[in-house]
Amino acid sequence: MLVCAPCKLSEACALGCSQPGKCQRLRVVAIAVMLMHARSRNYVSESEACKLESIPLDFGDYHPLKPITVTESKTKKMNRKGSTSSTSSSSSSSMLDPLSSVLDGTDPLSLFAAAADPVTTTATMDSTRKKRDKDDSSAVGSDFEPWSSKRGEILARYTTTEKLSIVSGSFSRKATTTGSAVSEKVRTRLEELDDLEEGSQKELLNLTQQDYMNRIEELNQSLKDAWSSDQKVKALKIVIQVSFTFSFCTELPSLVVVFCFFLKPGKLVYERILSMCVDSRVPLPDNFSPESVNDTAKETCLNWFFKIASIRELIPRFYVEAAILKCNKFLSKMGISECLPRLTSMIRGIGDPLVAVYARAYLCRVGMEVAPQLKESLNENFFDFLLTFKQIHGDTVQNQLVVQCVEIPLYLTLYSPAIDWILQCIAYRAPEVLLTEMMERCKNLGNNALLLNSIMSAFRAEFIAARSMDFIGMIKECDESGFPKHLLFRSLGLNLALADPPENDRLQILNEAWKVITKLKNPQVSYSLFCFTTHSKREVNTVLADVIKHMTPDRAFEDAYPQLQSIIQKVITYIYDFSLLFSVEKFLPFLDMFQKESVRVEVCKCIMESFIKHQQESTKDPVILNALLHICKTMHDSVNALTLEDEKRMLAALINGFIKMVSFGRDFEQQLSFYVEARSMFCNLEPVLVQLIHSVNQLAMETRKVMKGNHSRKTAAFVRACVAFCFITIPSLSGIFIRLNLYLHSGQVALANQCLSQADAFFKAAVSLVPEVPKMINVDGKMRPSDTFLLEFLCNFFSTLLVVPDHPEQGVLFLVRGLLNVIQDYTWEDNSDDKVRIYTNVLHLLSAMTQEVYIYHVDKVDSNDTLYGGDSKFLAEINKLCETVIAQILDHLKTLGKEETLKRQSQLALYLFNTILAHGDLRNNKLNQLSVNLWNLAQKHGFADTSTMVTTLEYIKKRSKQPEMSHFTDLALRLPLQSRT
């Protein structure tokens, strides 16, 4: 019987040893027998035998990636009561579910539970309500920008440090009981309303903007709590209290915060009345009529309107009634259309024009949500505002501004958010004729800059661009003291950037605009938008030159970095032909104005992102290369010890994108010179060095391709220069596995180009680097064991060593021996089997080396099968190496005989069994017996995977039917399947 390593136990060892005293001697014999009988391989015939049999198939209309089509078929099925129901059937199956066919698609128990469970009923109503709300807003598309998206921008732009005030009532968050008598409830409500009118509220002063927002949020939560506890009067009082705040608004942030409060109470009231319309748990249809609303709901709705009508103050009455404007649907079909003009007229009574314009903006917001089709009412709201617009310049407002020390330009900008919103609502999907009417009304008001700016911001860019000359004429006639002209030109320029003006007007537009722009004392860089009306290099250069002229004195550019960045973004957005862009004389001097390093780096990143995005073909243009090298150098030099790893990766990715786009065609020497220059410029970014190594390796392979593998003296020297570049650069990298893989990759490239001594140098360097692999490595910011990565690398390395010829002065298999010595000395984890798995993979390599013809070769490189020609001394050296390797494997299997490691022993035994099965000649009886012992060991302790063992045994039986594999039949009979019991 075949035996294993020495056993000191009295019983048989794991491999079936029954003669402990002879173990050491017999082990060597077993190894020799095994290695002398490696199976001869015919790789060509094996490859043909493993190919899948091709069978022509007629799919017809069927395709596995074709989506499944489901069709509706009306099939009459008798249910338990004999009624009919319709069921849907899929075209992919003719079988109908016998359980679902009689249920009409609905479980009767679920129907019964839903009828009895009020929670389910409420959920059904909520889903219906959400669907109805979605349908109601369907008239306003996704291209309409809601007010909620503007709120944060406005608050950030108009932040104030002034102290704000708010009117606060004595409201607590404590809910009261709801079980009082009706008469007491009515009396309490009346007393609460009277208490409110008698002035129980107080004014909270000296609030910061954040405190103000927090207080409004508290009131919002109090409103929800009061409503959920059925304290409707208290909820109304909270709404009235917040509306009182408008009477004390002195800053725009307070207006905006309160502006966003009033949608919630209107939604609460509407949903309450809607819930009262549900009859027999059947909700109202989506487009219900007032006739379908029951009397209780109508009475409640009227009650709410009567309560609001009793509010004495104008502003609270307006906001609360506008909030519940949608409730008019319960009373009359024309209710909303009749109320909108009346609410518009109510705003005339608000004395403060700033408060009034935000009231009109709120009415537009409600109108767009409730009745977006009533555009005429919204238009009248704005025209009504124009009639009172002169009030802004009246003595009352001017005197108040003097008292508050507010300048008129700053004061006018406070109107912009409200006017912009009103005009956005009016201009949404409006015809072009409405723009003409707005322009005429603006002219009648003396071309007011505030209105003109809002008009250009609201209407479609195509409409504005078509009337560019008209707008320029109106801008020239505006009074600059009230509203800066540069903002008007900026708004016009933004429209021209989105839509092209008439072809014949482009140059005239630029000239007319530039006459005004160059005369401004504080020209804003956003004027550069006008240069894209012609998209001409000359105009762009003129714009940049003028900006440099205005921004250079007194280093004014330091205060305008955001605007200067805007110019760069617009330039590279519309001129992405970089050969044209970098030929603009003033472009690089314009970049020099970015003196602040962080801003300068951001600009360079923006340029590189545009280059990578728009540059479709590789380039060798010296203008582009010099400019982008300068830009990439700027990004690289910004890296220091404090730079985050994510930032380094981003910068490296941009630089790598540039390097990949550089190509000098067949001028390979110039290409290599570029890579050498790039290495010296970007030495601090490791991913860039890695990319350069890959690029140089690719350059060497392209040279080989051009020469078809037959290098001349010149090309041979060139590829050696490429190999030297990689060999010098790799040691400067810090990542251990990056260096290992690059040594292997570069060695493969050197081998493919017949640089044998250089390839040996790469492989020796990789072998000497393996002992330096740490136990743990950093992978994506987390420490991971390195064993898996090392195992993967070594397997790839062994695959390469198969075709590496032996050095005539180094001895047989000197690289394989050196690598095995390193693996032997490497300190592996105690509970790891990776070392044995590597040794088993080495057996695959050594078995392949014994073949007369190797499975693969490198073109024009003689591997050992050619050099040795199956020499017996060479095979003997392989056998000796195999003896050492298998001795290590068997010793390790013996050490795993403990109870806690039996599962690992089973897995490794099966792994070695599969190796013998694939590479050994099992016609040898002793090798056959060794495989049987390994099979038994794998399942001896019940840790083998039964499905794997069954599959393996089926494979052996299948192989036994092939020619010259009849000995597998006897082997299959000797491999029992042991049960776990």
* pLDDT score of 670: 95
The predicted-structure confidence for 521-568, as pLDDT tens digits, reads as follows 555 544 545 555 555 778 788 878 888 887 888 888 888 888 788 888
What's the confidence (pLDDT) of residue 661? 94
The pLDDT of residue 771 is 92
Alpha carbon dihedral 333, 338, 343, 345, in 10-degree steps, equals: 170
3-state secondary structure (DSSP) of residue 251: coil
Distance from C-alpha of 275 to C-alpha of 833, rounded to nearest angstrom: 69
Share above pLDDT 90 across residues of the chain, in percent, rounded to a whole number: 21
Is residue 529 within 8 A of residue 514, CB to CB? The reply is: no
Gap between the Cα atoms of 917 and 682, Å rounded? 52
Q: Is the pLDDT of residue 286 over 50?
A: yes
Residue 402 has pLDDT above 50, yes or no: yes
The answer to whether 384 touches 347, Cβ cutoff 8 Å, is: yes
CA angle, 496 then 460 then 517, to 5°: 30
Q: Is the pLDDT of residue 601 over 90?
A: yes
Residue 196: pLDDT over 50: no
CB 1, CB 936: distance < 8 Å: no
* Residue closest to 747 by CA, chosen among 782, 697, 713, 705: 697
Q: Are 840 and 889 in contact (CB under 8 A)?
A: yes
Burial (0-12, 13-18, 19+ Cβ within 10 Å), 889: buried
d(CA 943, CA 949): 11
pLDDT score of 180? 42
Asked if 798 contacts 807 with a C-beta cutoff of 8 angstroms, the reply is: no
Q: Is the pLDDT of residue 474 over 80?
A: yes
Q: Could you tell me which residue, 250 or 178, shows the higher pLDDT?
A: 250
**245: confidence class by pLDDT, cuts 50, 70, 90:** low
What local confidence, expressed as pLDDT, does residue 481 receive?
Answer: 63
Between residues 635 and 69, which one has the greater pLDDT?
635
- Spell out the alpha helix ranges (H) of 850-924: 864-868, 872-895, 902-919
Of the ranges 125-139, 267-281, 503-517, 705-719, which is most confident?
705-719
Rounded Cα distance, 79 and 3, in Å:
75
Task: Select the more confidently predicted residue: 429 or 624.
Answer: 624
Beta carbons within 10 angstroms of residue 213's beta carbon: 18
Span 292-308, average pLDDT: 84
- For residue 9, pLDDT over 50 is answered with no
Does the CA dihedral 80-82-86-91 come out positive or negative? positive
Which is more confidently placed, 184 or 935? 935
The answer on pLDDT for 426 being more than 70 is yes
CB 834 within 8 A of CB 787: yes
Better-scored residue on pLDDT, 232 or 95: 232
Cβ pair 916, 927 in contact under 8 A = yes
Distance of CA 864 to the CA centre of its chain: 51
* Most confident option among 325-329, 449-453, 664-668, 882-886: 664-668
How far apart are the C-alpha atoms of 261 and 270, rounded to whole Å? 16
What is the C-alpha to C-alpha distance for residues 581 and 571, in angstroms, rounded to an integer?
8
DSSP string, 56-119: ----TT--TTSPPPEE-----EE-TTS-EE---EETT-----TTTTTTTTS-HHHHHHHHH-HH
Distance in angstroms (rounded) separating the CA atoms of residues 246 and 318? 11
Residues 6+ apart with CB under 8 A from 409: 481, 482, 483, 484
Q: Regarding predicted confidence, which is higher, 731 or 518?
A: 731
The angle, 0 to 180 degrees and rounded to 10, between the axes of the packed helices 252-259 and 353-370 is 20
pLDDT of 90 over the 50 cut: no
For the chain, the average pLDDT equals 77
Q: Which residue has the higher pLDDT, 836 or 73?
A: 836
Q: Amino acid letter at 121? A: T
User: Collapsing DSSP states into helix, strand and coil, what is residue 581?
Assistant: helix
- Asked if residue 663 has pLDDT above 90, the reply is yes
Number of C-beta neighbours around residue 121 at 10 A:
15
Measuring CA to CA, which residue among 889, 906, 915 is closest to residue 940? Answer: 906
Residues 11, 14, 19, 25: is their CA dihedral positive or negative? negative
How far is residue 773's CA from residue 469's CA, in Å, rounded to a whole number? 71
According to DSSP, the β-strands at 77-78 and 202-207 are: unpaired
Model confidence at 733: pLDDT above 70? yes
pTM recorded for the entire structure: 0.65
User: Is residue 954 within a helix (H) or strand (E), and if so which, with residue range?
Assistant: helix 946-959
Contact (Cβ atoms closer than 8 angstroms) between residue 913 and residue 15: no
Q: For residue 971, is pLDDT > 90?
A: no
Average pLDDT over residues 418-441: 86
Residue 894, SS3? helix
**Who's near 143: CB < 8 A, 6+ residues apart?**
none
Mean pLDDT over residues 122-144, rounded?
50
- Long-range CB pairs of 342-351, under 8 A, 24+ apart, other chains included: 343/318, 344/377, 344/380, 344/381, 344/384, 345/384, 346/314, 346/317, 346/318, 347/318, 347/381, 347/384, 348/384, 348/388, 349/314, 350/314, 350/315, 350/318
Kindly report which listed range (32-36, 336-340, 583-587) carries the lowest average pLDDT score.
Answer: 32-36
